[in-house]
Amino acid sequence: MAEDTILGTTIDFTVFDVITYGLTDTKWNAKSELVSQPIMAFLPKWIGRYVCPGTRIVAKNFAYAYTMTGLAIMEKSDEETLWFVSSPEPSHRIVELCAGLGGWSQGAEIVGGQVNLFVDNNPTIARTLARSLNIPCMNLQEVIECAVMGILRISGHTLQDFPKRM
């Protein structure tokens, strides 16, 4: 097959549906412009935490096999397979409260989230974080004022949309 010149060296594919979770790997349905058959990607467990539907992956130096249902891609046992993972569009928009140095948000970005705002009451930390990560940072009082004015929406609602509680 003409595809055999590509296979085994480098392939670029996008996962779209998880099939099974195993002890050592996760099996995903995937597709690629480089091959015409459906792809089953057996991704190592450590990659699983970085993958969600829509994730683009480039595999270099991998093993493959033709199956009844398509092409199977997996790690080589004798050599190191390189996996390059690129997250899809953000799956969650995040506001981090008590942001500090932004550690929770950095973890959320690894799994496909997008940080839109940091909230911290320490002005020095807020300015440093906002400058270093180029993400707006407000203190809690500013957030409350913006929510009351309807400028900031919380889960798609303005603060006026929430019922008053005694």
pLDDT-based confidence at 165, cuts 50/70/90?
A: very low
Q: Is residue 45 domain-resident?
A: yes
Mean predicted confidence (pLDDT) in 95-115: 74
Q: Give the number of domains in the chain.
A: 2
DSSP 83-145: EEEE--S-SEEEEEES-TT-HHHHHHHHTTEEEEEEE-S-HHHHHHHHHHHT--EE-HHHHHH
**Judgement on whether residues 81 and 100 belong to the same structural domain of the protein:** no
**Judgement on whether residues 99 and 59 belong to the same structural domain of the protein:** no
Q: Is residue 125 domain-resident?
A: yes
Query: What is d(CA 86, CA 95) in angstroms, rounded to the nearest whole number?
Result: 22
CB 32 within 8 A of CB 58: no
Residue where a domain stops, chosen among 86, 115, 137: 86
Q: Is residue 42 domain-resident?
A: yes
Q: Does residue 58 surpass a pLDDT of 60?
A: yes
**Judgement on whether residues 63 and 110 belong to the same structural domain of the protein:** no
Q: Is residue 114 domain-resident?
A: yes
pTM of the model: 0.50
Q: Is residue 166 domain-resident?
A: no
Mean predicted confidence (pLDDT) in 48-63: 82
At residue 66, the 3 state secondary structure works out as strand
pLDDT digits (tens, 9 = 90+) for 59-75: 888 888 888 888 898 88
